[in-house]
Structures are given as C-alpha cells and as structure tokens.
C-alpha cells in the first residue's frame, strides 16, 4: 500500500473513533489522548514502516 492509501485508512479509523467517543459521551482529555494517540501510532508505526512510495526506485 502507498502512504496515501494508509493515510486514507487512518482517517477512516479516526472518524470511526470519534463516532464511538461521541456515542459514549467521552469528552476532554480522554478524547484528545484517544484521537491523537491513534493518529500518531498509526502514522509512526504503520505508515512509516510498511508504506511504499511509487516514486522511489526499489533498492536491490
């Protein structure tokens, strides 16, 4: 998957996360920590490690 595809998937996950937080009435700091935590974890772990760029030449 490319970085853009991973980021779109991450956006969908964050949107579902916010819907769940809204359903259960979670507000304030827990909401901030939950949303930013998911976003940073997704970006740092999945996108940086597993994403491939189509513009970069493959290394032998």
CB 1 within 8 A of CB 52: yes
Domain positions in the chain are 3-50
pLDDT at 16: 94
Least confident residue range of 3-7, 26-30, 34-38, 54-58: 54-58
Which residues have C-beta within 8 Å of that of residue 51, sequence separation ≥ 6? 1, 2, 3, 5, 6
pLDDT tens per residue, range 21-52:
999 999 999 999 999 999 998 888 888 887 77
Question: Which positions ≥6 away from 31 have C-beta within 8 Å?
Answer: 21
Indicate the pTM of the whole model: 0.74
For CA atoms 45, 3, 50, 18, the dihedral sign is: positive
Q: Where are the alpha helices (DSSP H) in the chain?
A: 3-23, 29-41, 48-50
Confidence of residue 56 (pLDDT cuts 50, 70, 90): low
């Amino acid at each position: 998957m490319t970085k853009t595809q991973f980021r779109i998937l991450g956006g969908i996950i964050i949107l579902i996360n916010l819907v769940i937080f809204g359903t259960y009435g979670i507000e304030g700091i827990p909401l901030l920590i939950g949303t930013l935590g998911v976003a940073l974890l997704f970006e740092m772990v999945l996108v940086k490690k597993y994403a491939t760029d189509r513009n970069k030449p493959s290394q032998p």
